[in-house]
Structure 1
Amino acid sequence: MAVKVRMAFTLMVALAVPPHIAATAATASMEHARDARIFELLDDDEDGRVSMMEFKNNQMLVFYILDRNKDLALTADETFLPADVFASIAGADGKIDTLEFLDIVDVAFKQADTNHDGMLDRQEFAALLSRVRSQ
């Protein structure tokens, strides 16, 4: 389950963050600002919370951006995942299809929704990003 959560947020964060940025005290405020911007992008209706639908809609956008050859499947070279993480998600066919990706999104959202209200607030979202980064 943690691998699925890590994959979903790794993809989202990797698109929003240049890989050369290191997590230092100087970049902590940049990281906080970036996290806030990602949250704002996910919060389509601007109500200060992200619903499962908003989360899924935007995660599929990430999927389509990553799917460079537009075959509706992600290969290892189309993701930012370490080989072992990709292999554990992709299974025997060596690809992550849209249904597998949606399953990852469901798991990530449910784990992040710590108060079980069906919505992610800024604190839940920030906590999830923090957990993903520390893994």
Structure 2
Amino acid sequence: MAAKARGAFPLIVALAALTHVAGTAAAASVETSRDARIFELLDDDQNGNVSMMEFKNNQMLVFYILDRNKDLALTVDETFLPADVFASIAGTGGKIDTLEFLDIVDSAFKQADTNQDGLLERQEFVTLLNRVRNR
């Protein structure tokens, strides 16, 4: 479980980003805009925070979007994760199934909620994404 918790940040970012953007000023602007859109999509009630319930309501949608071959398991190619990070999450099975995915997403939310108020503010979400991008 500790390995899964450590891998939660990269998985969430991989799920949210879905595309790779190069490190130029224009790309940074695109990244910022995309991050804002993702946050708005997660914030179902548009109150400026993402609750655990909002996060959980959207996690399976993200899983199904990523699961391109619809086998209910994510491979390294479907997550956009570096191979070593993926391996630490997937373990010996070589795939992340739906239950593993749900567990990882819960851990990621808790780790990103730095003020422990049960909500992800926009800055906590952006900090989470930036922290993983800069690994």
TM range (shorter): 0.7 to 0.9
Residue 56 of structure 2 is matched in structure 1 by 56
1:101 aligns with 2:101: yes
TM-score (norm 2): 0.87
- 1:2 Cα deviation from its structure 2 partner: 3.1
Residue 5 of structure 1 is matched in structure 2 by 9
- 1:82 Cα deviation from its structure 2 partner: 2.0
Residue 128 of structure 1 is matched in structure 2 by 128
- 1:54 Cα deviation from its structure 2 partner: 1.2
- Cα distance in 1, alignment partners of residues 79 and 120 from structure 2: 25
Residue 46 of structure 2 is matched in structure 1 by 46
TM-score (norm 1): 0.87
Name the % identity.
73
Aligned length: 131
- 1:64 Cα deviation from its structure 2 partner: 0.6
- 1:128 Cα deviation from its structure 2 partner: 0.8
Q: 3-state SS of the aligned residue for 1:92?
A: helix
Residue 67 of structure 1 is matched in structure 2 by 67
Q: Aligned-pair RMSD on alpha carbons?
A: 1.5
Alignment deviations for residues 63-83 of structure 1 (CA, whole Å, 9 cap, x no partner): 111212322211233221222
Unaligned runs of 5+ in 1: none
